[in-house]
Each structure stands twice: as structure tokens, then as C-alpha cells.
Structure 1
Amino acid sequence: MKKLKIVVLLLSLGFISCDNYLDMGPNPNQLNTDQATPDQYLSAAQTLSYSTQSSTMERLGLLFSNACGGNVQSYASPFNDEYAMNITSVFYKGIWENIYLRVGAYQKIIDYNDVGLQYKEFKAIAKIGKVYNMQYIVDLYGDAPYTEAFKGISNITPKYDDDFFIYQQLFKELDEARAIIDDINNGLYPASAGESAAYDTMLTGSMANWKLFANTIELKMLLRMSNTTGAAAAYRDQRLADMVTNGNANFITQDVGIQPGYSDSRNDTVNPFVYNFGWDLNANPTNYNLFAASGHIAKCMNTYANINYASPADQEVIPGSGVFYPNLPDPRRFSIFVSSSGSYRGVTQGSLFVDTFKPGGSTTGQPSKFSGYFFNPYNQTGNGSTLPTTSSGNTLAGVKGYVMTYAEACFLQAEAAHLGAVKPAYALLGLNAQSAFNAGVTSSMSFYSATIGSYLTTINATKPNYGYNPANTFAQNYNAIMYQKWIAVLPSNAIESYIDNTRTGYPKNPMPLNSSYTQRPNRLIYPSSEYVANSANVPNVTVNDLFNVNSKSPFWLQ
């Protein structure tokens, strides 16, 4: 609990400011944050960053990747804004505002005047954490404050930088972090530089694992750039070559989790993923009854015989796409959603009733909700799929969180190897698409405590678009990678699948019923706080800009 207590203390002392670009203070009525040292910031920066990923970003990802529908049996028309693509300056504005606050905490560590050189590990970790978070600002918004951001009251109206430029600066931050780690390994700093383990809630001070994580983040960013042309493509290809030359083509071999000491002692110590999508400290539902299996995921993970298709034509994922649902029971299905008579009861996004169920079923009754394994990967608590009850307290409150899973990293490598067939720079990494794909599916099964059985063999041999096979088309194998990644990241980082779909068009993902648009937005609108507090600098983005590729789109889409 020590690390989580530090986070709560920072909050209570007013270290977190409401201003954008992270001030983190100083508040003249509270302890001056300039007196704080990196060890007092690190666990707070990590824990609060995860709280954003596992709440607002996760919710948008679950809905925009069509994994979840609303529980229409208990709520009137839930998620209307998401289904109608009603994107405004208040739509999920917490993503922008919270990421800037969290990154500012990392910047405090980076900027700390470390005259004794005892905080080098903290600085390397902070740079990697900064990149991990700021990448999402570019991916979801495009141009953003960077060079003039994080200066507190010295500059409360920072200019906006070009998003490709920001990406280049983020790559430099990764280079600097790895250089610090190499210098530590070479003994260039005093022994006191190795004291991050007690405060690092993610990788417990392992500089070797932090370097692998930095490499994996870089690979993800270079994959975001897979469709760029011109100068951006040339830069991407050079970075790929440099990864090999510099020995950075090695990636995480384990999950990057986070465990600051989550517990059911207070609501602010409950794992935020459990709290935001499940229950409070007393096991009273927060949003557990709101989210339901979407009709789309129910069809993805069950056989045709277990779904009430109106006609065989409805077995096509998107009319005219040529991609049909797999007609195969996925062993992970009941680890993601609770079973109902051996099947899912799903709600097609935008439907006013439960419309996806086993033939002979009824539209009345509750849809399938998240399973206990969804909150309890690897069965950490030993409670299996058991959901917490008010009599026992929130038995899932203390489970570990996940920032990036090993499965996600495997699918990043599978995509890079797959792209190597048409874009030679990715082939320089020397990765094998089939092996990485198989490892990703296998790891995902373990994550969900599911028994893989013959599933992997079957999809690879007989299910194009869901399994990887050299005999499949390039598009079928690409869809398979992104489909399996979608399933893998659902309870850890669902926003990835929305961004992947925007970038690649995979996996195929139906639009909500009666949506006014034929696609999801390519980006979000800057939050209202920007138009109020930084109006001279914030670009004007209209709704039309969101649904067309233009100069307002993230650079990797232009």
C-alpha cells in the first residue's frame, strides 16, 4: 500500500492542478511542488496515467471498437452520443485534459535538477512514460502543444506544434531514455541511481525491462506511420533501420502491469478499471450493469447455431465486405462476458432491445455483462469468474492493472512482419509473422484463463480473416492480426483497436444502427477548456473535419 498512499498524499496536498499542460502546482497555499523529488512523483505519475487509460480511454475504445453495447433492459438509450458520432468539444474531453496532467508529472521528474545524479533511473522511466502518454494525444487529436507545454504559470497559452514534429520529439525522448539506461548499465552513475524499484509500480525498477518497453512503444509508433509517404515515410524507414543497428529490435517478453497496492480499503484505492466498469469498494455496482456484450462480439465468438441470424446474409460482418463471422466458439467468450444458457445475449449498438441471443431465446431479460475473468485476468485472486458481492466486499478491488500486455506486443510484431512483405523497412526487424501471431493468441488465452484447445490450429487452417496462414490473402491475414489483437486488448487497452481501425480499416467492425455517418471519426475535437483558455492557439476543428482525411487528421492518416 505504500505506493498508493504516496499517490493519495500527492492528491491531498494539491500536487495535481486543474490547469492544462500540467502545472502540478505550485500552489502557494500548499506544499511547493518544486521541493518534491522524483521519488515522490513517480508512483503518482504512473498510477494516475493508468487511471486515464483504464477509464475514459477504455470506455471510448470498448464502444468505438464495437465490443460493448448498452444494457437497454436497465437504461434508456445508453451511449447515444457514441452511436450517433455526436462529437463535440465536451465529448470525452477528459482524455486530453488528464493526459496532459499526467504527462506533466513525468515532466517534473525529467526537469528535476539532479545534481547528485541519484535519480537517473527515474528520469529514464519518466521519459518513456511521457512518450507512452503523449503518443495518444497525437493519435487522437493531431497537432497539440508540446514545445511550450508543461511550463506551468510560465506559459499558460502554449502554441500548437505539428503532430509529425511531436512524434519526432517523442522518438528523441526514447533515444535519451535508452542512452541513460545504457550509461547506468555501464556504471557511469553512483550506486544511488538505482533506487527506483521501491517507487516504480510498473516494472519495479528493472532497467532491462524498461528498455524493452521503450523499444515496443517505438515499434507501435512506427506502425502508426505505416501508411505515411514522403518525408514521414523516409523518417520511419530510417528509424526502423536504426532499431536494428542500435540493438533496439527486442521487445517486451512479459506484460507491463501496474500494482501500486490496489485494495478495497477506499474507493480511490480500488483498481480504477474495476471501479469504472464494475463495483465500488463495497461491491456495489458502479457501471457493471451499464455495459453489455454487443451483438457484434456475440456473433464473433459463437457458432452460427448459437445466434439468431435472421438470414444467412446477416452472417456477413459488414454487407459487401466479403468477411463473414467465424462460426467458431472462441474459448475466451465466457471469460469476457457472462454466459446465458451457454451463449451470449448481446445488444447490437443502437438497438432498443436485446436482439442477439441463442435461437429460441427472448428479447426480454438481461444481456450478458462482463465476466469476473474480464476484471481478474490470470485469475489473480483465485476467485475464478466469481463476481464480488456486497456480503464479501469487492474481492476484485486489488487485482493488478495492465498498461501493455505481452499479447499486444506480439501482435505489434506480427503486423510489422506482415507489412515487411510490401514495405521492406519493416522486414529489417527480422520478425516472423506466423510465430508472433501464434504467440499473441496463446498469450491472450492465458490472460483470460481460457483453454486454447484446437482453436489456434483451426483458425490458422480454416478461418481466413481470423487465423494467419501464408495461403491467405494479404488483407485476410491483416484482418486476422487486428481481430485477434482486438480480442486481446479489450480489458487492458481497448482504445488501441479504435486507433488501429482508423489507421488500417481492420478488423472489420459494423457501425451502430441508424448512425448518421458511415465511419467513426478519424480524430476527436479539442476540449472546450482549450477553446476557452487557449483560444488564440487552438486550431478550429469542425465536425466535417472529423470524418474526412484532411490537414486536421493525425499526420499518419494524411
Structure 2
Amino acid sequence: MQLSNFKKMKNKIIIMAVSATLFGSISCNDFLDVNVNPDKVDANFVTPNYAFPGAVTGSYAIQARNLNAFASLQMNSLAGNSYKFGTPFIDDYTPNITTGYNATIWDTLFRNVTNFQKIIDYNDPSGTYANYKAMSLVMKAYYVQILTDLYGDIPYSDAFKRELNVFPKYDKGEDIYKASIAELEQAIQIINSGAGSAPSSSDVVFGGVMTDWVAFANTIKLRYLLRMSNVTGDLATYRDQKLAGLSGASFSSSDVTVNPGYSSSSDSQQNPWANYWIVLSSGARPTTGNQGYTLYTVSEHMAIALNGNKVHLPLKATTQDSRDVYQKFNGITDGRRGRMFTLVSTTDDVGVTTSNVEGVRQGATPGQPGALSTTPARAVSVFGLGAILGNNNSITSTDVNTAFISAASSKDGVLLSKAETEFLLAEAALRYPANFTNAQGHFEDGIRASYNYFGVTPVSSDPNTDPSIYISKINSVPKLGWTGSNDNKIEAIMTQKWIALTTVNPEQSFFDYTRTGYPVTPMSSISPAGQVKPKRLMYPTSEYSSNSNNVPSMTAADVFAKNKFTPFWAR
């Protein structure tokens, strides 16, 4: 037997064994126990119902970890606990954006988008896997938007072909947007045609409910088009035509999540967010690399916002921060705060004890403003039960025990929260009232959805834990609630979305900030005077090494300026 034929036969044997498992008794946990390396097997032997779960879960893992950490620090939602770790995250705080900064995001997401493309290109003359191709088109568009928004122009039309094209050319961001929107529309057409077999447990997002995939595709399409709110000329005409086509469409009515059978059986089977930020399957806290339950705390910026502009100084009565950015929060305690982060009890100089979210100013070390020294050592807030478990209220303590580990490990991963969908619809109705309606209703429903996600239970001692009471208070406050000019309302949408997406999908708030300038987000205390936030990331070292003839040459300064390298919708 020739060597080439032997390899083919070997691959067939491997896939036949895998297929026997897939078409026999499938367990969700099987999707987390993949021992066959698809890079070693002919792609057409890996059926889409086998490939799709791994493509989704692999992509979500990098989103839940590296992308979440990057955006949480850039949006000043989280900070490093300088009481225990000196001055962590200097590159993030400065910020020092290089070809090595967060390069894992590019390297891993591109690899996983390639897996979606393999499903799309799968040789399926009978159309059996039509729905898997549609689902992969949606997921490809979902992650391509993140890559385009982070890096501007990227390889697209020549990309995702593995060995067939290892030197892909770069496409313009606006062309990628149009192509991705077309693929979302193609996915909807495939689903509506009724072609193909119905997915079941292999669909780790919706469990084979294809109408939910249509609503998800419409919502991602809306996100694309709203990102283009500032474009002009032909692009604006294109945007408006596509927005008109979404009038009356269905959108995601609940959180869009992924769960292939996450559990505490092993580290590899845990929800990757919990494994990275909270606890390992053994019950130990994660400590590898930038991981670490005690490394991260809430930032002073987020703490002030959640506390209603209450600042606790050691042995002094609670006071207010005088900076303009915090005045809209005056006296409005956010009812989500105790579920998002743990509360710390402090006693002032007249013996009054209060519980607040206690954070650290980004870049500050003990003894500096925002990280004042205390004796004993200052306590800071860490991730709360709502951030860890969502609206699961069966666990009442962050203390590590079997029930806590199990609940954290098995939690769904969030691709798109209902809160974000409602805020997208609120912005759409405010900007484009000819096509969308009820802007205020969607805005308020976004807040309610966020309260529900974090599992806030109304209690009489804190009226703000009732979302209706909180909403009634903020709606007399421009830039925080639904009042004032349209620009005030845009700032309110972005502010409430920033709070709602903290620890969930904070990268979307980073893109919103780049596009709108809201919510106003201070730089760290160690940023140079006049420093601004990056508008994109640099292409990674791997791209300059492997695709040097095509990757654009740019400098670190280009990251912070509006120029040809900036994502097209932010120029």
C-alpha cells in the first residue's frame, strides 16, 4: 500500500470511530473530551456536527478570558489589586500597545474562525448539514466583527483556507462588514428554506431551535449596522438600506449562551470564564499567568459609579468625588453592585458602618490617591455571586465548597446578553425612528434584563434593588437615565450598557467607547498627561513573521490616532 493511501485509510478509521460515537450515544460532555486533532485529519472526514461544538467553545474560551481581561482593563471596570500585587497591568494602564500585546486574541480567534469556514465549505451534496453551515455563517460573522473592530483591515477573502493560502491578502474593514452582513443574510435564507437535518445536542448554543438562530443573526446584523452610525456617503446609504430591512424583524429575546456540558469534572470541562477568573475544578484559586481570583478587583471608577458617587476614606465619613464624570451618579446606589462585586463593610470616625463596593484606582499603589493605606490592610471587593453565577441564587457565599465549584463550573457562557440586545434596540430606535420604535422602553428593559442576569433580588432595605425604583430615579438624571438631549440619551445607553456588560462581554463597551466617546472613562493614574485610549490593537508578531508581504506596516503611535489604520467606522 502506498504511503499516501495508508494515511488516508488511517484517517478514515479514526473518523469512523469518532462518527460511531457521534451518531450513537452523544453526551454534551463528549464535546469537551476531544482527543482527535482535526489538523491531522482530512477536513472532509470531520462531519459538521462534530466540528461545530469545538469551534464555538474554542472561540468562546478566548473571548471569556483574554478578550474579557483586555476590555475590562481598558474600560476601567477592573483593576489590579495593588495591595497584594504591587503595580500589575502596567502595559494596560500606560497603555503600552505592541505587537506582542494580547497577541493571543488574534492568533486564537483566527484559528477558530477557520474551523467555522471548514464547516461552511464542507462537501455536502445532499444538503444534510445545511443548518450547520448556517449556524457557522452566523458564528463566523460574530467573531469576524470582533477581529475587524479590534484590528481594522484584516485578511478575509483570502483567509481561513489553511494550507490553501498561507499568505492571505488584507481586505478593507468596510468590505469585510458588507461581506459579513451578506453571510448573515445567507444564513437566514438557508434556515428559512427548511433544508437539512435538524441539529440537536451538537448545537451547543440553541439546542437546534433554528428560529432562535434567525433572531440571533438579525441581532448581530443590527450590531454591525449600529457600529456604522458615524459613516457617511455610500456607506451611510448602504447602512440605511440594511436597517430598513430589519424593521419588524425578530431579535434575540433572551441571553444567547453556549454550554456544551460544562462541569467541575476537570479543568478542561469547566466554563472557561470560571476556570480563568474564579476557581479550578480542584477548588484551588487560579494563579497561572494573569489569572488569579485575588489579582483582579473592581476599579475605583466602577466602584464610585455603583456606590452612587460615594467614596470611603479611612476613618472618615463617606464623601463624594468632585470630578465631573461622577456627578450623574450622585446619591443613586446601583442595586446590582452587591451581585456584581462583593461588598466591604467600613466604619467611619463617628462609628457609622456601611457596606460599599471598594476598589482601587488603576495604577495607584498603597498610600496614593485611590489606594489609600489603612491598618489593618485595606479590603477590596472581588467578583460577586452575580458575576460568577448569574441569576443562580441557590449559592449564598463565595466561599469555595463543592456546591460553589459545581455551580461556577457549569454556568452558561454568554455570547450575547438580553441586556445588550435591548440597548442595541434602544440606540436603533433613537437614531433611526423611521425603522425602530420604543427607544425608552428598550432602554429600561435593558436595565431590567441586567438586573435579572446578575440575580438581583429586591430587598426593602435597599430600594434600588428593585429595577423599577432604580429606573425611576435615574430617569430624571441626564446621561444616566432617559432624559435630556439625544446625545444625553446616547451617553445613558452607553453608560448602562457598560455596567451591564462588565464581566460579561466588556469588549462591546470598548467598541462603543471608540465609536461614541461614551461612557466617559478615565485613564489610569500612571498614563502620561494627555494620553488617550487605543483605538485598535497592533497586528501581532506572528503576522509580521508569517505574512510579512501583506500585513500593513504601522507604528505604536498609529494605535492612538485617527488615521488609515483606525477601524473604518471610527475614522
1:357-412 superposed Cα distances (whole Å, 9 cap, x missing partner): 899976832311111221100117x2134342489755411111111011110001
Alignment correspondent of 2:351: none
**1:414–1:481: 8 Å Cα contact kept in structure 2?**
yes
CA shift for structure 1 position 431: 2.0
1:200 aligns with 2:203: yes
**1:293–1:346: 8 Å Cα contact kept in structure 2?**
yes
CA distance in 2, matches of 1:45, 1:128: 12
How many residues were matched structurally? 520
1:438 aligns with 2:452: no
CA shift for structure 1 position 489: 1.1
1:352 aligns with 2:365: yes
1:129-170 superposed Cα distances (whole Å, 9 cap, x missing partner): 000000011100011111111111111111111111111100
Distance 1:290 1:505, change over 3 A: same
1:557 aligns with 2:570: yes
CA distance in 2, matches of 1:311, 1:514: 26
Among 32, 46, 49, the alignment partner of 2:42 is: 32
Alignment correspondent of 1:528: 541
Structure-2-length-normalised TM-score: 0.87
Distance 1:262 1:552, change over 3 A: same
CA shift for structure 1 position 306: 4.9
Among 413, 417, 422, the alignment partner of 2:429 is: 417
CA shift for structure 1 position 490: 1.3
Larger deviation, residues 143-152 vs 324-333: 324-333
CA distance in 2, matches of 1:82, 1:333: 25
Alignment correspondent of 2:31: 6
What letter is aligned with 1:457? S
Distance 1:358 1:541, change over 3 A: closer
Distance 1:523 1:112, change over 3 A: same
1:267 aligns with 2:267: yes
Distance 1:435 1:217, change over 3 A: same
Alignment correspondent of 2:127: 117
CA distance in 2, matches of 1:487, 1:435: 18
CA distance in 2, matches of 1:311, 1:7: 49
Alignment correspondent of 2:9: none
Alignment correspondent of 1:378: 391
Give the gaps of 5 or more residues in structure 1. 16-24, 420-425
Among 224, 229, 232, the alignment partner of 1:229 is: 232
1:332 aligns with 2:336: yes
Among 51, 62, 66, the alignment partner of 2:76 is: 66
Alignment of 1:291-310 (within 5 A): 291-308=296-313
The SS at the match of 1:366 is coil
Alignment of 1:132-281 (within 5 A): 132-184=142-194, 189=195, 193-244=196-247, 249-281=249-281
Alignment correspondent of 1:85: 95
Give the gaps of 5 or more residues in structure 2. 1-25, 287-291, 346-354, 459-464
Alignment correspondent of 2:16: none
Distance 1:495 1:393, change over 3 A: closer
Please identify the structure whose Cα radius of gyration is greater. 2
CA distance in 2, matches of 1:555, 1:302: 37
CA distance in 2, matches of 1:314, 1:392: 36
Structure-1-length-normalised TM-score: 0.89
1:50-102 superposed Cα distances (whole Å, 9 cap, x missing partner): 11110111001111111111011211211110001100001011111111111
CA shift for structure 1 position 313: 8.4
Alignment of 1:539-550 (within 5 A): 539-550=552-563
Alignment correspondent of 2:12: none
The SS at the match of 2:297 is strand
Identity fraction in percent: 34
What letter is aligned with 2:518? Y
**1:336–1:373: 8 Å Cα contact kept in structure 2?**
yes
